[in-house]
Amino acid sequence: MTWTSPYFTEEEMACSHTGISDMDPQFMDKLTSLRADWGQPMVVTSAYRHPTHPIEARKEKPGAHASGRAVDIAVSGEDAYKLLCAALGHGFTGVGIAQKGPHGGRFIHLDDLTEEEGWPRPTIWSY
């Protein structure tokens, strides 16, 4: 499966543990359209995570990032509010809000998993 985007590279979407980049093309289309709408650089701190990635390996079953349909975007304050508003209009169904502590460590998780696929969606959570 391959995809291209004017905004994102295979490298930045790759698993930090294995180097494997296995993002879902349809998810990347969605993310690209959100990025175009949002109109400013998007700092991806985590995208694809292989099931052997330490964060996924300790879960009962691999999480959203192992599906290739999730990203964490470094954002806080007013930008976080605006990104959230835009994301809700682009079909993202899983929203994780990490907005505590130093602004540099804050992020928003977005995925587009579905209830039919066995995930509790739509949903929103905090970290």
Residues in touch with Zn ion (CB under 5 A): 72, 109
User: By C-beta, is 72 or 112 nearer to Zn ion?
Assistant: 72
3-state secondary structure of 32: helix
User: By C-beta, is 38 or 98 nearer to Zn ion?
Assistant: 98
Contact by Cβ (8 Å): 70, 111? yes
CB of 70 to Zn ion, least distance (A): 5
Report the residue number whose CB is nearest to Zn ion: 109
120 Cβ partners below 8 Å, 6+ apart?
none
CB of 103 to Zn ion, least distance (A): 18
Compute the distance between CA of residue 47 and CA of residue 63 in angstroms, rounded to an integer. 12
CB of 19 to Zn ion, least distance (A): 19
